[in-house]
Structures are given as C-alpha cells and as structure tokens.
Amino acid sequence: MNPTLFTSSVAVMRWPLGVVSIVYGGLPIEEAAELAKQHGFEHIDVSGDVADELALPIHDRFAPRPTPGFSTGPLAADRRSFEKTVTDFAQVPNCRIEPWVGGAIGSNEATLEILRQVPGLELLLDVGHVTAWGGDVIELLPHASHIQLRQAKVGESQARDGDVDFAAIFGELDRIGYSGRLSVEYFDLPDRGWPFDDPVGAALEAAEEIRALL
C-alpha cells in the first residue's frame, strides 16, 4: 500500500489506481473485474463479501452497516442523527466511514467531528460527495485512508466536466506522504436520486486524466 517512487528528472510519487465495481452497473463481479483489468485498473472495490478469486485484487469492500474491515456510508440524515451515527461506528472497530451528500455525516465539520469522537475510525474520502456539499477536499485529505475520485460540482456529486482539481489533490497527497490507494467511481442509481449516463465512459475519461497527472 506504499506509493511507488520512480525517477525521471524529478522524483514522482505514484499511487495505485483502481475502480469501484459499481461503475460496471449490474455486471457479475467476475465480469466487472475482468473488464476493469482490461481498462488498466490495478484493483477493484466491491460491495459485500465477495470471494477473492477475481481478475484484479480487491482493495476495499462496502457494507450497508458498520462492519469490521469494510467501508460503510452513514444512514440518511432524516433516518439517523449525528449522535446515533457516532454510536453506530464507535461500536465497530476497524472500519471506514464514507460521508455523503444527504447522509448523517455530510459536511466537512461533521466528518472531522466523528473522526475526533471515534478514535481509530478510518475515512473513505469520496471527492465527489465533498465537492457536492460545497466542502474543501484538501482539508480532509490528511484524514483519508482511501480515496474515491471523480469529477463533480456543488450540488452534483458526479459530472463529466466538474470543479474537482485532481492536480491540487495529488500535490497535497504528495506533500502529506499519503500511502493509501485511489479508486475511480461513477454510478447510475436513478432509484436513489443519482441517475448518470455512461458511468463506464466517464470513469475511463477520468482515469485517463488522472494517470496523466500521476
């Protein structure tokens, strides 16, 4: 999980770039992993307790509730209070939280506060959600153990053309010595209020931009 250093005219830090399986929609995970490998990704993030025998190594796993070894988003703000969300995550060691727009943890302030109140809780930082809620991505980078990347705008957690400054993000990660991984994520979830046309195409466009900067 340490970044690989290589030398050209200057030392450059590079982080493995993977993809979240939801990019490939409803494809069976085996087919999604094979496609992701063909697309040049180095790992895949999955939902649930998927077996390890895939074309790519699994880096992160997502669960619907706090689970040891998994990442989890908080419940929606209208279903769970901040205080109860703190309790939910405090009871489960060795897990990550992914704050999101509309979630009980859905701002920079709430994110920093739950990390303060729950020692050992790790942060899965989705730059799309942070950008959508109008937050400062750079402020949260030092707290992240895994980062999901995509373009986004205020009010839109994913976009083909957005305001996410990948170069500034990588510059800060270099400065702080980030040793985690990066994953590209787009998704078409109209039933959850997140419709999106061609998430695979958008993910490949973002990956091309990101690789050029790494």
CB 53 within 8 A of CB 44: no
- pLDDT per residue, tens digit, the chain (214 aa), is 333 332 233 334 479 999 999 999 989 999 999 999 999 999 999 999 888 899 999 999 999 999 999 999 999 999 999 999 999 999 999 999 999 999 999 999 999 999 999 999 999 999 999 999 999 999 999 999 999 999 999 999 999 999 999 999 999 999 999 999 999 999 999 998 889 999 999 999 999 999 999 9
Report the C-alpha gap between 97 and 130 in whole angstroms.
13
pLDDT value at residue 147: 98
Task: Give dist(CA 127, CA 108) in Å, integer.
Answer: 11
**Domains of the chain (ranges, CATH numbers):** 4-213 (3.20.20.150)
CB atoms within 10 A of CB 98: 20
The structure tokens listed for 69 are 């070894």
Distance of CA 134 to the CA centre of its chain: 17
What's the confidence (pLDDT) of residue 82? Answer: 98
Q: At what angle do helices 108-117 and 82-90 cross, to 10 degrees?
A: 40
Count other Cβ atoms within 10 Å, centred on residue 174: 15
pTM of the model: 0.92
